[in-house]
Chain A
Amino acid sequence: MPCSLGAAALSGGLTAAFGIVGVTLGLSAIFGGSRDLQIDWLLPLAGVRFDLGPLGGLFVAATGAVAVPVGIYSVRYAQKEHWARFPLVMLPLFVAAMLLVPAAGSVTTFLLSWELMAAASLALVLSEHHRGAVRSAGAFYAVMTQLGFASILLALMVLSAAGGGDAFDTIAAHVGGISSGARTAVFLLTLAGFGSKAGLLPLHAWLPRAHPEAPSPVSALMSAAMVNMGIYGIIRIDLQILGPGPHWWGLTLMIFGAVSAVFGVLQASVATDLKTLLAYSTTENMGLVTLALGAATLLSSYGAQQVAAIAMTAALLLILSHGAFKTLGFLAAGSVLAATGLRDLDKLGGLARRMPGTTVMFGIAALGASGLPLGAGFVGEWLLLQSLIHSAHDNNTLLALMMPLSVGAFALTTGLGIAAMVKAFGVGFLARPRSPAAEAAREAPASMLTGMALAAAACAVLAVAPVLLGPALKHVLASVPTVGGGAAGPTLGTYLRLPGLAGSMSPGLIAAALVIAVLLALGLSRWGARHRPVAAVVPLWACGSESLSSRMQYTATSFAEPLQRVFDNVLQPDTDVEVTHFAESRYLVEKVTYRTLLADPVEHRLYTPVVHAVTTWAHWVRRAHPGSVHLYLAYGVLGLLIVLVIAR
């Protein structure tokens, strides 16, 4: 049953409305202090308890800010893609569930909203379930998200038992009495559970499967808002309630973050599927956020509160900027998918002429993701780098070793990130179309462009006017005293200034100066214009052949081939070149077939054995139920007898 415009408008409108509510509530929580709400009758035994503080407020506001453009965008998208009624219902529900997670004030409420969010997102991933790839991605996602949930459930049960209560307030008040064993258990379990939601290595495998297969507005919500909840969980449970953590917490977070960032960006730089590329970029960015969190924790545990505050601000800013450019990136990729039916960069190209609006939008997103000046990610990355470089290390060997290595990982990430984004934008949108479908592309409707323009505006604000976010981030930082909250934190004005350090930066001024400099350069190239003949449009040089065909162009695969070769050991591509010669002569080539398969090596090494073991085990278990009812009855009786014996 394809949906009508009315149903799509209702669903999209509701999603956007939830988004506006989220932004309002979030901002009021950031500036107005905690809001709490207790509803005892809603849930038996525990009741539902909400407690929205400044930290939760930031995540609620960020989620809301993602939901507004997605809601507007999804109206026409759902209609164009003939969504069924089910995903239309689930979309606003998913947003609502995501808004509840950071607002939860007790363990029970948190777990309930977490599971609601996971289930809603799973249902949305499966909305095109008639395709096999979607079902496989859905199964992968279902297993990983539920294992993650089990891990979080265990962790919060331990926490709640040790802290003597269900409400986060109660636990925080009794945190002094929690033994170090329980702390360690909670930290490790939550790191696994929340880390898998945030897409950290090695629990990232669901991300490059589920994000590409989900409908694009859903991918945007998952990648820009849902993965943040993993980061929120780590900050809220481990750093805010249980913190300040020991040195090794910070160290662990930094290592997982750095490895995820480098691995994610490396996979993104060789990916040929536009949405897979964006999904790996999510792993990269969440890795950077975790690296910043780890740095803040480690520095804080050594008493360097001022630098820790810079790292924490960097983490928060990176979350916001990632939300902005990734929303835009996935929505633009969705427009391309809707217009051409293609996600494969090797078949795209030439969209700049056919879809100029979408091209500009994706360009803004790619600039943000590459961390260059004028891009949304620049300020956050700058702060992170400053905190890593200027950590006061008073002869501390661990810091003196850890910080340079992190700078190395960070620098490699930004370098490769540029390559990945140049490939996505340059191969996907510029040059000439590589397939008939790309040639027939049509621009997205105005309402979809409006949704994207909202996200683009957010990118622009983050890129040149972080001053607008300064007050909010200050309030949030103050609410996390365990990781640098006691210190002043960096000043986000026209000039970004760091407390106690001499460095400064002004993204707005750079942007303005760059515009002037480019105009100046354009003026320079006018020099001698009086003597020039009339300008002409001429064909491209076709290397001597009659005409250029689009097959002569570089594709995404060939563009990334040098990088793939350089990182051969890490990526382990399975490449195969097959040359067929003419029968008459060995010197004449009839056909060359090139095939390359880039499997995720971590997935290959780590997941395959586990999946294999589970399958083998399942085969054994299956022998126990051959279909005989008598045997099953016997099992029942036997089981009951065992229970009775134990319970006696």
Chain B
Amino acid sequence: MSTLADVATAMQVLAVLAGAPLVVGGMRQVRARLEGRAGGGIGQPWRDLRKQLRKQQITPQGTTVVFALAPAIVAGSTLLIAAILPLISLGSPLDPAADLFGVVGLLFLGTVALTLAGLDTGTAFGGMGSSREITIAALVEPTILLAVFALSVPGHSANLAAIVSSTADHPGQLVSPGSLLAFVALAIVIIAETGRLPVDNPSTHLELTMIHEAMVLEYAGPKLALVEWASGMRLTVLLGLLANLFLPWGVAGTHPSVLAILIGFVAITLKVSVLAGVLAAGEVFIAKFRLFRIPELLAGSFLLALLAVTASYFFSTPTN
């Protein structure tokens, strides 16, 4: 574990912190342009954040510490994930501390915190959003675990650095049936988990169709800023994970040089921008699903992931 690897990890966290609002802004801008609108510009989410951070702190009556702490837990767990993932370099000092099961666990810790906050308000919409969010999460978690472990079978390890470096060393694995199925499954669940179309509409204004937004309806001011920042960071981190799992090129090694870190930084920025752009462009052409059609989509992705694991078992080379 060299100092430069630690620097790369710190850069990852800072890049996610600073870049997440830009990713969200970029996606909105792509969407606006494709719909023939001018759009607010890429920097708009940053301006929103600054505005909300200066607003009054508001505590809704009857809420407990769960409501007050949930935004910090979501943001904190996402920052921790950003520090664990091999986004810029493989040498994160936290990589041996948490494998993919740990990362998925941290992701859901954040989801659970917000869900509990939604219930804590005791309003109809809070409960509604929480109930929907947890239903989707309960169906998403199995798929994430399966898909990710389909990827971990070839590398014989569930630790992310090992998976990414194994794929980089043997690019042939990428076109194996297991890997392709896992990619589709993972893409679907990332869309579901980050509340994008067709699962949830992040820019909806109708409470009855909301999932994520209904749950955080009572947040305002600085707390809302943190919630929105965190949800942008989750999107960024998951897109980065998807990119590096399936396109592991450009990631700096375990003992990176300064140049490698810079290349890694540019590479991940490009990958996430392209993925976010594709996602935003795709969203223009689809409408939101009915709530009870979503489980069908998720069941489909669960099945794909199950096939992916089975395929990677049947087609992979034996251990040792």
**Footprint of B on A, CB under 8 Å?**
269, 349-350, 352-353, 370-374, 378, 381-382, 385-386, 389-390, 392-395, 400-401, 403-405, 407-408, 410-412, 414-416, 418-419, 422-423, 425-427, 430-432, 495, 500-506, 509-510, 513-514, 517-522, 524-525, 527-529, 531-543, 548, 550, 552-554, 558-563, 565-566
Contact = CB atoms under 8 A, between A and B. Distances in A.
Contact of B319 (A378, A390, A506): A390
Contacts of B58: 535-538
B57 interface: yes
A541 B115 CA distance: 18
Nearest to A519: B76
Interface in B18-59: 50, 53-59
Given A411-B142, A535-B59, A419 B76 contact: no
A426 B152 CA distance: 34
**CB-based closest 7 A-B pairs:** A554-B127, A518-B76, A411-B142, A502-B157, A431-B122, A426-B119, A521-B75
A355 to B, nearest CB: 12
A12 B267 CA distance: 64
B318 A395 contact: yes
A415 B149 contact: no
Interface of B: 17, 50, 53-62, 64, 66, 69, 71-73, 75-77, 79-80, 83, 94, 96-99, 101-102, 105-106, 108-109, 112, 115-116, 119-128, 130-132, 134-135, 137-143, 145-146, 149, 152-153, 155-159, 162, 217-218, 221-223, 225-226, 229-230, 291-292, 295, 302, 306, 309-310, 313-314, 318-320
Nearest to B217: A541
A400 B314 contact: yes
A321 B19 CA distance: 40
A562 B131 contact: yes
B62 A540 contact: yes
Contacts of B222: 525, 528-529, 532
8 contacts: A371-B105, A394-B319, A426-B116, A431-B127, A509-B98, A517-B80, A553-B127, A562-B291
Nearest to A409: B142
Contacts of B98: 373, 505-506, 509-510
A88 to B, nearest CB: 37
A553 B129 CA distance: 12
Q: Is the interface of A mostly helix, strand, loop or mixed?
A: helix
Contacts of A416: 138
A394 B134 CA distance: 39
Contacts of A543: 123-125
Contacts of A414: 141-142, 145
Nearest to A530: B54
A502 B158 CA distance: 8
A495 B122 CA distance: 41
Nearest to B50: A528
A520 to B, nearest CB: 6
B73 A525 contact: no
Contact of A559 (B108, B127, B292): B127
A393 B318 contact: yes
A416 B319 CA distance: 32
B64 A505 contact: no
B94 A540 contact: no
Nearest to B106: A373
A338 to B, nearest CB: 22
A76 to B, nearest CB: 26
Nearest to B55: A532
Contact of B157 (A410, A503, A539, A550): A503
B97 A510 contact: yes
B127 A558 contact: yes
